[in-house]
Amino acid sequence: MTIDLTQFHDAFFDESFEALDSMEAALLQLDAGRPDPELINTIFRAAHSIKGGSSTFGFAETASFTHSLETLLGELRDRRLSVTHTISDLLLRSVDVLRNMLGAAKAGRPIEMQSVADLQFDIELVIVQRDTGVAASPSPVTTRTAPGAAPMAGTAAMLPAPRTVEWHIELRPGPEFFARGTDPVRIFRELAVLGTLQVTADLATLPGCRDMAPEWCYLNWSLRLLTDAPETAIREVFEWVNADCSLTVSAVSSPPAAGECAAAATPAPAAAPWSSHGAAVAHSATASAAAATPQEPGSIRVGVEKIDELINIVGELVITHAMLSQISRGVSGPAADGLRSGMQQLDRNMRQLQESVMRVRMLPISVVFSRFPRMVRDLAQRLEKQVELKISGETTELDKTVLEKIGDPLVHLVRNCVDHGIEKPQARTAAGKKAVGTVHLNASHRGGSIVIEIRDDGRGLDHERIVAKARSLGLVGANEILSAEQAQELIFVPGFSTTEVTTDVSGRGVGMDVVRNNIADLNGKIEVHSEPGRGARFVITLPLTLAIVDGLSLAVGDQTYIVPMTSTIESLRLTPNQVTSIADGREVFGFRDEYLPIVRLYKTFGLQPRARALHDGLVVVVEGAGRRIGLFVDDLLSQQQVVIKSLETNYGRVPGISAATILGDGSVALILDVADLIRIASRREAA
């Protein structure tokens, strides 16, 4: 029995790119004169984890390169080399090179080895020069000791004398522990550096040689570590350990100094105004005892699948709750009031729980925004433009999956701003503007949504040119008059691009239509606002999460459908004179300044409706992929949050339907895929 290691590649790449980001961030903070040992440690660990994973998965070039890098970082960490500008430059270049290498490995492209080899040579040269004494080493520390065991000169006086504590560490890896790139022997080796380590392997779950999958990890370990290093130092060793394990770290002997500290706190209660209370005294004593042992505020790496499981369970709770509250409305009698107030309480708790669980999956958008400063700088240079990038709201958090999928559309939009929006400096000054153009990225929460705004002060969208181009492409009739809003919408039409000269920056073909589709896939939408000569503003609205959607429930016959709120514009009751029947039974109605086709949902889905005459039912104006239609339904039921359930797990894709959900009474309702419905409707028109 063997397992396919490639299934773990994605996780490896994710973690490696994450590690590179933290490496880059730490490098940018690194002060050449007085490097913070903590930052060097962070960089070292990042390189170390990439090296480990690379060799596990057989990316030999990456492993070899990170080995050299790690050696250099080891020299810096152990202060045999000092951080110079040359070295910090080498390290920054290493981040770029590693990104390229991993990117190539991920895409299965060959690695461009020349730059790798050059850089590796430079790195090794620095190390060799250190060995031969060419570069002066500031502190001739040669013994490899734990940072906690031998505090650096100068800081020693500040720190309390370290105490030796016995730690008990239990490591219970999951079966895929090795395959995900963690090698316990490397971890234990690092632990051994901290002090005296004694390891006991538990072979109880190790099967016979013939029965085992040798790639799986069957062993569990319990370790005893005698060290004066703080708990944080121990936990750090496990920092890059993947989520597929359970880890406990506990002090066996309570630190004696903490006890002393507690004792010392007791005779001094006079200082505390509320000392007359025995409880308060005891409390302050334990508080200082706790303060004596450095407590990490703590973060743990948790597998996304564990979080998703939590979210699923919360989803189930939301459904059960909806069911209970539906039942409780029909209850009468003496217990009814109590039941209802209990339900209200439960309702509040549910919402809090839901929010907290969702928040676990959320990451700040800075993860995506952080790539733009460099991108904009490089782009501006190449295009001979002067561009200032302003970023705000980068701490706004959104769902990890949304975050992963929004990166590419944002890159495209920012590129567009720099390439098409911002003018060259001469043109700007000629137009009476500052030579330096501005691109502003902003993220914020608005209600239950995330709004991302990309704004530039460039030339704006040229309506006339857009319309002219659309006419030449046959997208707009020769005599058709378009509003400004309609003209702007044209940029989202597939294949539309206004630049006559295709640049290698904004590419060709793949354009705003792809951006819009990607955003629609996330149940979001994008709008453009532009003022000629003053700039353009793209506004993306995204749901906070992909697991739950705000929906409007619609009745058609005996069925209930959900349409996402982000797709709905308005609902109206049409009178017969508002509707125009055109060829082969198609109907349109005037809405704002355009004519929208009516799609009778009962016809699309083959149902028996309650309302066949338009004035008996309602028309819901919905929007998807930049187009609007009027959905004719029997009635609107309510607006509610629904938990998204896949139809494809057990069945398959259904045209016009994106997913399903479970209603309060336990029945299933289908969620409409508005963009798909519009596509189906337009194909029918074409047929």
Partner 1 sequence: MRPGADGTPPRSEVIELPVDCTLRHIGALKQQLCAVADDVQNITLDLRRLERFDTATLQLIAAFARDHVARGANLLTCGNRPSWDEAAELLGLSATLAGRT
Partner 2 sequence: MTTPTTDPTLAAAPSQVLTFVIGDATYGVDIPCVQEIRGWSAVTRLPQASADVLGVLNLRGTIVPILDLRLRFGSTNVQYTPVTVIVVVSVMSAKGPREFGMVVDGVSDVIDISPQDVKPAPELGTGPGGSCVRGLVAVAGRMVVLLDINLLIGRELPAAATDDSIQAA
User: What are the residues binding partner 1 (CB under 8 A)?
Assistant: 2, 5, 55-58, 178-179, 183-185, 188-189, 192, 197, 199-201, 203, 206-210, 212, 214-215, 217-219, 221
Task: Name which of partner 1, partner 2, none residue 192 binds, using a CB cut-off of 5 to 8 Å depending on partner kind.
Answer: partner 1
* 315, interface contact from partner 1, partner 2, none, CB < 5-8 Å by kind: partner 2
* Cβ nearer to partner 2, comparing 518 with 560: 560
**H or E, element range at 388:** strand 387-392
With binding defined as CB under 8 A, does residue 666 bind partner 2? yes
Q: Which does 648 bind (CB under 5 to 8 A by kind): partner 2, partner 1, none?
A: partner 2
Q: 374, 443, 376: which is closest to 406 by C-alpha? A: 443
Specify whether the CB–CB gap between 204 and 210 falls below 8 A.
Answer: no
Torsion of CA 644, 646, 652, 657, to 10 degrees: 0
Determine if 687 is a binding residue for partner 2 (CB under 8 A).
yes
Q: Which does 17 bind (CB under 5 to 8 A by kind): partner 1, partner 2, none?
A: none
Cα dist. 583→12, 141, 580, 587, 630 in Å? Answer: 57, 88, 10, 8, 18
Query: In whole angstroms, how close is the CB of 191 to partner 1 at the nearest point?
Result: 9
SS3 293: coil
Q: Which two tokens stand for residue 107?
A: 């895409």
The values of phi and psi at residue 95, to 5°, are: -60, -45
Cβ proximity to partner 2: between 204 and 686 the closer is 686
Q: Does residue 683 bind partner 2 (CB under 8 A)? A: yes
Contact partner at residue 669 from partner 1, partner 2, none, CB < 5 to 8 Å by partner kind: partner 2
Can residue 319 be called a binding residue for partner 2 (CB under 8 A)? yes
Q: Locate 321 and state its tokens.
A: 């709750």
- What is the contact mask toward partner 2 in residues 272 to 311, using x (rule: CB under 8 A)? ----------------------------------------
CB of 322 to partner 2, least distance (A): 12
Question: 512 or 562, CB closer to partner 2?
Answer: 562
CA 587/CA 597 separation, integer angstroms: 6
> Residue 304's closest CA among 172, 183, 401?
401
Within a 13 Å sphere around the CA of 660, how many CA atoms are in the beta-carbon half? Answer: 16
How open is the CA angle 660-663-665, to the nearest 5 degrees?
140
Residue 185 near which of partner 1, partner 2, none (CB within 5-8 Å, type-dependent)? partner 1
Give the integer Cα–Cα distance in Å for 372 and 53.
Answer: 28
Written as six digits, the tokens of 554 are 């619609």
- Give the one residue of 32, 150, 290, 668 binding partner 2; rule: CB under 8 A: 668
Q: Closest Cα partner for 588 from 606, 610, 614, 607?
A: 614
The amino acid occupying position 584 is D
Among 33, 110, 160, 606, binds partner 2 (CB under 8 A): 606
Would you say 52 or 617 has its CB closer to partner 1? 52
- Looking at residue 6, the DSSP 8-state letter turns out to be G
For the packed helices 37-57 and 85-107, what is the interaxial angle rounded to 10 degrees? 30
Collapsed DSSP state (helix, strand, coil) of residue 521: helix
**Which partner from the list partner 2, partner 1, none does 199 bind, CB cut-off 5 to 8 Å by kind?**
partner 1
CA dist list (Å): 265 to 165, 260, 271, 293, 668: 22, 9, 10, 15, 62
CB of 353 vs partner 2, minimal distance in Å? 17
Find which of partner 1, partner 2, none residue 649 binds, CB within 5 to 8 Å per kind. partner 2
Partner touching 2 among partner 2, partner 1, none, CB below 5 to 8 Å by kind: partner 1
408: left (phi over 0), alpha (psi -120 to 50) or beta: alpha
CB nearer to partner 2: pick between 30 and 620: 620
Nearer to partner 1 among residue 197 and residue 565 (C-beta):
197
- Binding partner 2 by CB under 8 A: which of 470, 660, 674, 675? 660
- Please answer whether residues 588 and 640 qualify as being in contact, where contact means their C-beta atoms are separated by less than 8 angstroms: no
Rounded CA gap, 457 and 467, in Å?
22
User: Residue 345 CB, nearest distance to partner 1 (Å)?
Assistant: 51
- CB nearer partner 2, residue 592 or residue 653: 653
- Tell me if 334 contacts partner 2 by CB under 8 A: no
Which residue ranges make up the site for partner 2 (CB under 8 A)? 312, 315-316, 319, 559-560, 603-607, 645-657, 660, 662, 666-670, 676, 680, 683-684, 687
